[in-house]
Structure 1
Amino acid sequence: MQLRGQWYRGGTSKCWLFDAGDVARHAPTQEDVLALLADAFGAADSRQLDGVGGGTSTTSKAAVITATPDGPADLDYLFAQVGIGQATVELGSNCGNCATAIALYAVQNGIVAAGDVATRVTMRNLNTGAVLSGTVSTPRRRVPTAGQARVPGSTAPGVPVRLSFHGPWGQSTGALLPTGRTTDRLVLPGGAAPEVTMVDAGAPAVFAPASDLGVDLSSMTAGLDHRLPELLELRAEAGLAMGLRGPDDTPQHAIPKVGLVAPPAGYTAADGSHVAADTHDLRVRMLSMFAPHPAIGLTSAVALSSAATIPGSLVARSIGPSSPEERTRHLRIGTPAGVVATEVVTDADGNVVEVVLDRAARQLAVAQIEVARTVA
């Protein structure tokens, strides 16, 4: 079976993008779509050797795209986090890096006509209902194929895309604070009871002080293997507390996002370089599926940025209070890949109305994928 796809790098992720019409010819139901993607990626093998998956959480992603010229956005997309070592596909979240790629895809494939100076693509994520926009530079209506924009976590240049998350809170649980509290204590099966802040913005996320879980963020070169069981317990308990699953449901691996935060201080990045304390407002390490994220996912950055605006949250405590007069706050996030900057726009009541990031994307390939069905 042949499935046509386009392969893009968006920010620090790689995503296979598929036209919904092409997918529907092979997979008429959502269950069939999930099986098709799992087979195309070779998900059952942890190396994804017999498919097009990259074998890591940041490179095992896909989106199925539908142009919607008469809809609330220019296009709809279903984001899929494809399993690694398991023939599963999770649909419980969103991915900002893939949305960055989708914005460029829409311009390069004529879903949105190029404007004189720049082209704004509006996108609705079908997983959560979130609406995003990506603005691509198109001087003199020229559709870009290359650019010089770079993002922390990748040395490769790409086409600049300014990505905005609009009204990003409550899209999975209905509230920015799913439990109604700025902090909670989660009692883990292993006995630990860390204080956490749980938010639903961009994606559901749980943040805990790195020191409470015995993680030193003065260096981000090592893995988190020694704390992985505890972090997975934290994700499972947070998912239960946030209403993302029931007591008898199997915990999801993609959500909630798990982050360990610490106040700003000099630290060693994953590449061995030194990041000075005055270059960032707080430090964070995120867990992506079963491994540390090499930088930070954009939906996690949105969740962190939103939590920073909540007085009393663990994130806000790490960076100090912001001035109530500031309607746009620039947050500098120290990650293993370096410093990632966000712009957080709030209304007069302090509610987050938009989170903006500057990203980069590039088309890598157009391919006919030979999909082999899973052999029992």
Structure 2
Amino acid sequence: MNDLLRIPCVLMRGGTSKGPFFLSSDLPAEPAERDQILLSIMGSGHPLQIDGIGGGNPVTSKVAIVGPSTVPGADVDYLFAQVWIEPRRVDTSPNCGNMLAAVGPFAIEAGLVPATGTTTLVRIHNVNTSKIIEAEVPTRDGQVCYLGDASIDGVPGSAAPIALSFFDAAGARTGKLLPTGKAIDRIDGIEVTCIDCAMPMMLLEAAALGVSGTEEAAALNADADLLARLETLRLKAGRLMGMGDVSAQVTPKPVLIAPPIHGGDLSARYFMPQQCHPSLATTGAVGIATACITRGTLAERIVGHRELPTTLTLEHPSGRLDVRLALRDGKVAAGLLRTARRLFEGHVFAKPTRAVERAA
């Protein structure tokens, strides 16, 4: 086994996502070398990621890299990496709020943040977006508590609640809440709302593409024409938002929105971008909820005007997700509840970067 790299690793579920967590000091600092190792670890280049630990699905092909904070006002740095499955690419342009839910517990157990009392506040600097998010992690006797009565749709059973608070999440990538300067744009005759809040997204009414927006994820994933149309619109939205050629990136994310059917405020089908999310991304939920309170957007057209503070209930393929919006120091803060669990700890083995490059 001496010809393989042996790297400490913790496999964790964060929200409705899952992936390996690494200390930044255990991976190469040089991005290209680091990414080659991540491709080897996850097994990218094969639809099942059979030669790695990825699960063959975008929600299980994610990586979190955590280390000491490099900015004031934060406890740790968190770099998120979306590892593509068949294309051998690593995208570090977006954040992932579901994986974010496990960053606090990981940081405490890694000794980066001391546990304090029954709840430990972990201030997380997301390197991808330069934003700080607060996580309230249940702790007891200096240890992280994973067991509890909180449940989230998309994850079976219950666990300890982890409260996430996103502050001033607007312009995470482009520097503007509405990157085009408009609440509604028209692309190929379709009305869209381009918004950048926690995650750059392109929102469009599902009916405009001939679907209801309340379908199961599998049904949408089987609609090749719909996926192709969404990708065409997404690429054009990326340029319109000032992001350039986004064909090798997972942002902006396309989101189909529609009136709710289960008593919520809005139905959402979030794409990653080539597959519909089985539930809903946490960062996506923050952005969609913010769109609901932004004057003139397609989301506000469905929801109607809402004053702050307010709670938006977003319906997704696995159930519902509540986002609480309020003003804090004159800026919008978004809060939501997630859970996390430590699944496995040990070492993962990767091919040296030269061997990875030859295999590619």
Indicate the TM-score class for this superposition, using the shorter chain for normalisation: over 0.9
CA shift at 1:224, angstroms? 3.6
Rounded to whole Å, the distance in 1 between the matches of 2:277 and 2:29 is 34
Does residue 204 (structure 1) correspond to residue 200 (structure 2)? The answer is yes
CA shift at 1:70, angstroms? 7.4
CA shift at 1:140, angstroms? 4.8
* Contact 1:130-1:168 at 8 Å conserved across structures: yes
CA shift at 1:7, angstroms? 0.7
136-145 or 161-170, which deviates more: 136-145
Letter in 2 for 1:132: I
* Contact 2:69-2:125 at 8 Å conserved across structures: no
* Contact 2:254-2:273 at 8 Å conserved across structures: no
Letter in 1 for 2:309: T
Consecutive unaligned residues of structure 1, counting only runs of 5 or more, are 188-192, 266-275
Change (3 A) 1:47 1:224: closer
TM-score by length of 2: 0.92
1:340 equivalent in structure 2: 321
2:138 equivalent in structure 1: 137
CA shift at 1:72, angstroms? 2.7
CA shift at 1:251, angstroms? 1.6
Change (3 A) 1:199 1:32: same
The count of aligned residue pairs is: 348
Deviant stretches of 4+, over 6 Å: none
TM-score by length of 1: 0.88
1:298 equivalent in structure 2: 282
1:369 equivalent in structure 2: 348
* Contact 2:250-2:272 at 8 Å conserved across structures: yes
CA shift at 1:107, angstroms? 2.0
* Contact 2:117-2:139 at 8 Å conserved across structures: yes
66-75 or 78-87, which deviates more: 66-75
Rounded to whole Å, the distance in 2 between the matches of 1:250 and 1:331 is 30
Rounded to whole Å, the distance in 1 between the matches of 2:220 and 2:211 is 10
* Contact 2:67-2:112 at 8 Å conserved across structures: no
* Contact 1:236-1:252 at 8 Å conserved across structures: no
* Contact 1:195-1:208 at 8 Å conserved across structures: yes
SS at match of 2:156: strand
2:43 equivalent in structure 1: 42
Rounded to whole Å, the distance in 1 between the matches of 2:227 and 2:346 is 36
Letter in 1 for 2:241: M
* Contact 2:66-2:107 at 8 Å conserved across structures: no
1:263 equivalent in structure 2: 259
SS at match of 1:158: coil
1:6 equivalent in structure 2: 10
Does residue 163 (structure 1) correspond to residue 169 (structure 2)? The answer is no
Consecutive unaligned residues of structure 2, counting only runs of 5 or more, are none
Q: How does 1:47-62 map to 2 (within 5 A)?
A: 47-62=48-63
CA shift digits 1:343-363 (9 cap, x unpaired) = 011369xx7521111000000
Letter in 2 for 1:243: G
1:228 equivalent in structure 2: 227
Rounded to whole Å, the distance in 2 between the matches of 1:103 and 1:347 is 22
* Contact 1:344-1:352 at 8 Å conserved across structures: no
Change (3 A) 1:258 1:69: closer
Letter in 1 for 2:79: L
Rounded to whole Å, the distance in 2 between the matches of 1:70 and 1:230 is 41
Rounded to whole Å, the distance in 2 between the matches of 1:128 and 1:110 is 24
Q: How does 1:233-312 map to 2 (within 5 A)?
A: 233-245=232-244, 249=245, 251-265=247-261, 276=262, 278=263, 280-312=264-296
Rounded to whole Å, the distance in 2 between the matches of 1:244 and 1:233 is 15
1:17 equivalent in structure 2: 21
CA shift at 1:155, angstroms? 0.8
Rounded to whole Å, the distance in 2 between the matches of 1:298 and 1:95 is 7
